[in-house]
Structure 1
Amino acid sequence: MSAQLVAGAGSGRPRLIRTAVAAIGVALLAGCASIPVSGAVHEGDTVEAGEDLGFDFRPQGPEAGDTPSEILSGFIAAGAGPQDNYATARDFLTRDLAKEWNPAAGVLVHGRATSTLADSPTSLSLVVPATGTVDGTGRYDEFADAVQIELPFRFVQENGEWRISQAPNGTVLARAIFDRLFSMRSLYFYDPTFTYLVPDLRWFPSTADAPTRVVEALLAGPTAPLASPVLATAFPDGTSLERQSVTPTNGQAIVELNDEVVQADAVTKQRMQYQLARSLVGGSILSVRISVDGTDLEIPDFANGRAPVVQPLVNPSALVLRDGTFGFLSGGELTPLEGFSDAVAGLDPTSVVFSADQELAAVHGGNAAAYAVARGENPVAVDARPGLVAPDLDGQGYLWTVPADAPQALTATRPGGSPLPIAANWTDASGVVSLAVSRDSTRLLALLTTPDGPRLRVYGIVRDKSAAPTQLSSTWYELIPPTGVPAGATWVSDTTVASLGRAADGSAAVVAQDVGGHRLDTVGDIDDAVALSGGNGLSGLRALTADGDVRVLRGAAWQTTASQVGLLAAQR
């Protein structure tokens, strides 16, 4: 007994009424209390994909005489219809289960055919080759390889018709349907100093209540790896939506909050307003107002230059070492970096991270030690432990260093200061390939080696009251690692990272991915690449080849912009 996820499955009657194009096989339920990421795998009947759907899915309810297989097939299809709180999907459930089933608990996303198993005449299991999950807060995690997950369903007869009496909460959608039904949103929270707004990517159904979901998620706080004290919110404890609807009117969204916000000082109100506006503005929403008891709060805009920084930018020119000179390349001409060029070049560096704001560089010298170089000053040795990976630099002036074969020996050190041990929750790591701190200094991108292969992760950075880093978050974003031998990873923007892997024949592959989103398909492979450096978005991503060419991503192809370069530096 099998359930087909296509129009006409089971009884041959159409299971999807389409209002745009035509039907495709879709959706199913994800985990119970939580979406599972493992489980027994069995062979079953393949479910074929159908035609592409448009943007509005109108599933059809159960029909008289439907078998359990047909009920499951219809229920699967109905998971693509969020209208009226998934009213059509609930029609396939018993009266009791229809009241309890929670479609908002999460989403299981799959890209290949599912299969079914008949456990008994009144129970079926669906095996889903999951490629990703979305949890109840909208956080998305994508898998490098499909994970086979088995979902159980039980059936009983109610008023002479088969209905589902047991089913997991949530929905499961084919990737093509998920991309049409859901959209990615950046929820913004502050770094602990309220200097930066930091994005927390979430996925929500593209329905009329999406703004309400965004505000509710924003008030609930950052996702686990970024939760306090990594990031902060301007909203006082206990703040909630007073009216459970955020509906734009003439381009303006009025957010009705409870009176917790009234007692906040003027700066806090500005921060709340800014946090809401950055998270909500887009599409039909052009501006945001906060209201309490039906009265709009009068909140002035930030004065010029005082607004928090969103998406910190760097010099768009490549920063390189060529022929003993360290500086910026522009139109093929190399301009020495005043106060740094001679000192950096004199260290015979293998890597450099430069901060224009701090006038400071972190240098991996030819003798494998880590140095701090300030403008016009002699280099200061910060870490001379053997086997260090390339050091990185954060916004507080700390150099992050770790020996490649000692992952638990991670430290952060200011020039002239003592090293601070950083507690890192990567107990499965056998080695470290590269480290990169985000430009807002709240997250660490780590490319690790483990007995089970390379791992690419983003951790939140926990700091004390003096802004000194003390540990990494206990949970993390598990990203898709590079293929082949891992060579390095870099921040492309405040939401996107890229990693480099090299095959034995010298060919290299670059993988770009949103932190909390999809792997991006816009990055082409590049032969002989040995290093990556992020700029201002994907168009600023650069690669250095083994023969000294600097290449820039243009569309999905790499173009050479400079030659005879010995080192490609990173900027923060």
Structure 2
Amino acid sequence: MRMAVCAGVAAVLLAGCASMPDSGDLRDVESTPRQDAQVRVFALPPPDDAAPSEIVQGFLEALTSDDPNYETARKYLAGDALTEWRPDASTTVLAEGPNRYAVASRTQESDEERVYRLTGEKTARVDAQNAYEPAEGSYRETVHLTRLEDSGQWRIDQLPQGVVMGKSDFQRTYVSVNKYYFTSATRSGQLGTVADPIYVRRQVDPVTQMVRSLLQGPTRWLDPVARTGFPSGTALREGVESLTPDDQNKLTVPLNDKADHVARDKCDEMAAQLLLTLQDLMPTGVDEVELQGPEGKKLCSLGEDRTDAVAAHGAGNDPEFEYFIAEDKRLVRMPVRSSAPAPEAVPGALGAGDMSFRSAAVARDEDRAAGVSLDGSDLYVGSLATASSLGEPVVHSEGQTEGDRLTTPSWDGRNDLWVADRDPDNPRLLMLRNGEGEPVEVTTPELDGRIKAVRVAADGVRIALILEQDDGKSSSLLVGRIERESGGSGDTAVSIVDLRSVTPRLEEVRAMSWAGDSRLVVVGRESGGVQQMRYVQVDGSTPDGPELAALTGVQEIAASEDESLPLVAHSEDGIVRLSSGSQWQQVVENGAAPVYPG
């Protein structure tokens, strides 16, 4: 006999009901069809006299609902499970909804207990800090059910910690949002900021979720290079359950006594973090944040118009131009916001000198640029403001072939210049402070392969590397943390640590660029597949949004941290641009190495 049970919703009845067997045959829990993000989904409590299979099914469906504290899911529990189950411990994401099937109970002849096995293929895990990480391998857990003595109803009394669901339910239920912290870098007296992406439940008071997460501090991966303006132990005032902006788009945040005596400048830092975080969460953002102490006393308020005076967000300034290497091997530029840009040579020796270049990087203030010579052996730095000569190269490679020499360079938000030397006999990742002086050799203890491309984020604490394996047939995109440690002589040791893959399913990554505070655009290919272009998050997840228009033969890609600006690519059609909502348009037939400042 089969019985159908559907989860209910507040505004719409879910269409996908799973049939549940009384026997032990393998069945899977069908993922809920993707609903509109504004539809809130609520599960039904267990029906009277529900069979064990119905209890398991109903519980798994309830995990994908929008109940704030999983109230309905808890109605399927009994005994120790009621008090010991912690749904916020983690969220395991499977390729499909979890399969479940009955297995032999611990007491073979007992009619008072049942055991069900949950299985599936893991694709990701969200931990207790709401941090996302790709995962793979098999998921295999059990739930134990018992028949209650007083009512005769079946309930789950043993289960794994956390929540499990299929990928489609995860995409409907959760949303990726950046929370913001400070870095040690300063730009013109301002604090630099760094984005820390996390996943929160989309329809379960996301404002309050984000504020609580922000107060708890950076995720473990980012914590060594980020700091918060909030004093240790700062939390929402006891009794505060929900935060909502008022009709003037102002959010009042009552805090506990840990923040009661902060100085005004520190309070402004705290408010700036909240404003940046909430602007990323909400389409209209929040115009003003007011912080209150434990007795309701106003600590400070900060409006959106003053945020930039406290902290530099992203690159700190909007780019004026896009750049690429023209057919004559000189650096040219074109206005960023022009609908029909006409390339022009940049001022100075990189645009009008005798030297030929194969790639370049422009400092974020657009006053200087670094160029790699046509054969890849030398790196030069020159002014874009004056007609001064280039002088001697700042880095030289001894690689025997052009492919074994210098990569395209990259500037970070601290005005430091980065480049990799691919010489097989002396592979190095180098950094030049302020783009000059003796190069610092960066320690890369976890690197397994040769660096094919390097891009440093505007925050100066995260770096993206395309790493090529020794066979030359496979390459991957990794994101690492940049750590700087000052020595006794005043020198600073620089290292790249905690490298993690952000494109685990791509066998070959050809090109990439930062395309937002925590997003990259990537050109690559899956095993046996064709070349594709996609956005990825620095945590390895795929952000919401439309797919990129197809483009063939892409060799290089450039994007800005300002997500409103067009993509620029070097493809088989030459230099092309893609503005939001349009198709790729050719700029010139011959050109290479497109870049934005950075």
Q: TM-score, normalization: structure 2?
A: 0.81
* Distance of 1:503 and 1:174 partners within structure 2: 22
* 1:458 pairs with 2:479: yes
Q: In the alignment, which residue of structure 2 is the partner of 1:36? A: none
The superposition leaves residues 111-152 of structure 1 with CA deviations (integer Å, 9 ceiling, x where unpaired) of 435422433233221112333222221222346xx6432222
Give how far 1:349 is off. Answer: 1.9
The code of the aligned residue for 1:321 comes to I
* 1:264-283 equivalence runs, <5 A: 264-281=262-279, 282=282
* 1:40-439 equivalence runs, <5 A: 44-49=26-31, 55-83=39-67, 85-121=69-105, 122-142=114-134, 147-159=137-149, 160-194=152-186, 195-207=191-203, 209-228=205-224, 230-243=225-238, 244-248=240-244, 249-250=246-247, 251-281=249-279, 282=282, 285-292=286-293, 293-299=295-301, 306-312=309-315, 313-315=317-319, 317-324=321-328, 325-330=330-335, 331-342=340-351, 346-357=354-365, 359-375=367-383, 376-385=388-397, 386=399, 387=404, 388-404=406-422, 409-414=428-433, 415-427=435-447, 429-439=448-458
* Distance of 1:530 and 1:222 partners within structure 2: 36
Give how far 1:223 is off. Answer: 1.6
* Distance of 1:155 and 1:270 partners within structure 2: 52
2:332 is paired with a residue whose SS is: strand
* 1:447 pairs with 2:448: no
CA contact (8 A) 1:188 1:279 kept: yes
The code of the aligned residue for 1:231 comes to A
Between stretches 297-306 and 114-123, larger displacement belongs to 297-306
CA contact (8 A) 1:118 1:124 kept: yes
Give how far 1:438 is off. Answer: 0.8
1:247 is paired with a residue whose SS is: coil
% identical aligned pairs = 21
CA contact (8 A) 2:147 2:155 kept: yes
CA contact (8 A) 2:243 2:251 kept: yes
Change (3 A) 1:481 1:336: farther
CA contact (8 A) 1:354 1:362 kept: yes
**Which of 471, 477, 491 does residue 495 from structure 2 map onto?**
471
2:574 is paired with a residue whose SS is: coil
Give how far 1:562 is off. Answer: 2.4
* Distance of 1:406 and 1:12 partners within structure 2: 68
CA contact (8 A) 2:86 2:162 kept: yes
The superposition leaves residues 30-75 of structure 1 with CA deviations (integer Å, 9 ceiling, x where unpaired) of xxxxxxxxxxxxx943444565556222212223433332211111
Q: In the alignment, which residue of structure 1 is the partner of 2:108? A: none
Give how far 1:497 is off. Answer: 0.3
CA contact (8 A) 2:234 2:259 kept: yes
Give how far 1:477 is off. Answer: 4.8
Q: In the alignment, which residue of structure 2 is the partner of 1:541? A: 567
* Distance of 1:504 and 1:105 partners within structure 2: 34
Give how far 1:305 is off. Answer: 6.3
* Distance of 2:310 and 2:556 partners within structure 1: 35
* Distance of 1:284 and 1:383 partners within structure 2: 45
CA contact (8 A) 1:425 1:472 kept: yes
CA contact (8 A) 2:264 2:300 kept: no
The code of the aligned residue for 1:368 comes to G
CA contact (8 A) 1:544 1:551 kept: no
* 1:506-525 equivalence runs, <5 A: 508-516=531-539, 517-519=541-543, 521-525=546-550
* Distance of 1:98 and 1:52 partners within structure 2: 30
Change (3 A) 1:397 1:472: same
CA contact (8 A) 2:185 2:414 kept: no
Change (3 A) 1:320 1:49: closer
Change (3 A) 1:91 1:304: closer
Which structure 1 segments of 5+ residues have no match? 1-9, 28-42
* Distance of 2:9 and 2:256 partners within structure 1: 41
Which structure 2 segments of 5+ residues have no match? 19-24, 106-113
The code of the aligned residue for 2:417 comes to L
The code of the aligned residue for 2:438 comes to S
**1 or 2 for the larger relative contact order (CA 8 Å, sep ≥6)?**
1
Between stretches 431-440 and 60-69, larger displacement belongs to 60-69
Q: TM-score, normalization: structure 1?
A: 0.84
Give how far 1:272 is off. Answer: 1.0
* Distance of 1:361 and 1:335 partners within structure 2: 15
The superposition leaves residues 443-476 of structure 1 with CA deviations (integer Å, 9 ceiling, x where unpaired) of 10112235895332222222246895612243x5
Aligned residue pairs total 542
1:350 is paired with a residue whose SS is: strand
The superposition leaves residues 354-408 of structure 1 with CA deviations (integer Å, 9 ceiling, x where unpaired) of 0152622222222323423131242442332322332222233433233345897
* Distance of 1:256 and 1:477 partners within structure 2: 37
* Distance of 2:542 and 2:125 partners within structure 1: 11
* Distance of 2:579 and 2:529 partners within structure 1: 19
